[in-house]
Chains A and B, each alone.
Chain A
């Protein structure tokens, strides 16, 4: 199966993994804080170097490269939109026309500002990719449930469900590529609407599994779970 874009935590013997959720989260939050505070490209480059260096030393460099593949288009999009919608600046590169009263002049300053903001988005996303790859979400839930259980549960469910959905999408893509003639979108949509097992019942089951797993933790023994949860986290089918 092809690996997904989203970094997933795996236990490793690196200092970032063994330090626990608190110190590693604090390190990633510090990287993100620098991105928020400084728009300077040199500082952003140093932050990116720090994030990539930490990831390489912790053995999750490959996961960060995969996350970069999804962050780069986002950064480029930010860099492209800014000069189109904002035409301040002294150096005009392209003098465009007027549409609905807005003059589309592309300036060097707006282009550079957009690229810098896009770069900032990329570095910010890489800090959170390091967090996702090096911090066990169950440890985060365990640390935060004393302060805000529902918020912590929501955050952990989101971070747990996104890799599961990305993995499922990769499996579907692999299965589609195994066919001699890939199915068209209309056929796939018809098959998906016909298949009851991939309908809302499966979503409910995934949601129940994620809630049960987040409540119990990965190392909890099966059976005897929280109220309303079955041992194997399968809901009753109606």
Chain B
């Protein structure tokens, strides 16, 4: 989920950063979307008994 979402949003143009000649970085919906995807993907293994990284044994 994190990898697919991260690649897709990167292709969509999220999270670019320009350092030179002046520092510019966007802060919009796409960047917040990446953050939500990453945090949701990190919380998924601990979400419940049935969502342990797709593995049934605990």
Contacts and interface: CB of A to CB of B under 8 A. Distances in A.
Nearest to B40: A50
B6 A30 contact: yes
Interface string A30-47: 110110011111110111
A116 to B, nearest CB: 7
By secondary structure, the B interface counts as: loop
Of the candidates A27, A30, A57, the one having the most CB atoms from chain B within 10 angstroms of its own CB is A30
A45 B34 CA distance: 11
A15 B53 contact: yes
B53 A27 contact: yes
Interface in A100-124: 108-110, 112-113, 116
By secondary structure, the A interface counts as: helix
A54 B35 contact: no
A88 interface: yes
A23 interface: yes
Interface of B: 1-3, 6-7, 10, 14-17, 19-23, 25-27, 31-32, 34-35, 38-39, 41-43, 45-46, 52-55, 57-58
23 contacts: A16-B53, A18-B57, A19-B53, A19-B55, A20-B55, A26-B3, A29-B3, A33-B6, A34-B3, A34-B6, A37-B10, A38-B14, A38-B34, A40-B26, A40-B34, A41-B25, A42-B32, A46-B38, A49-B39, A50-B43, A89-B20, A109-B22, A110-B20
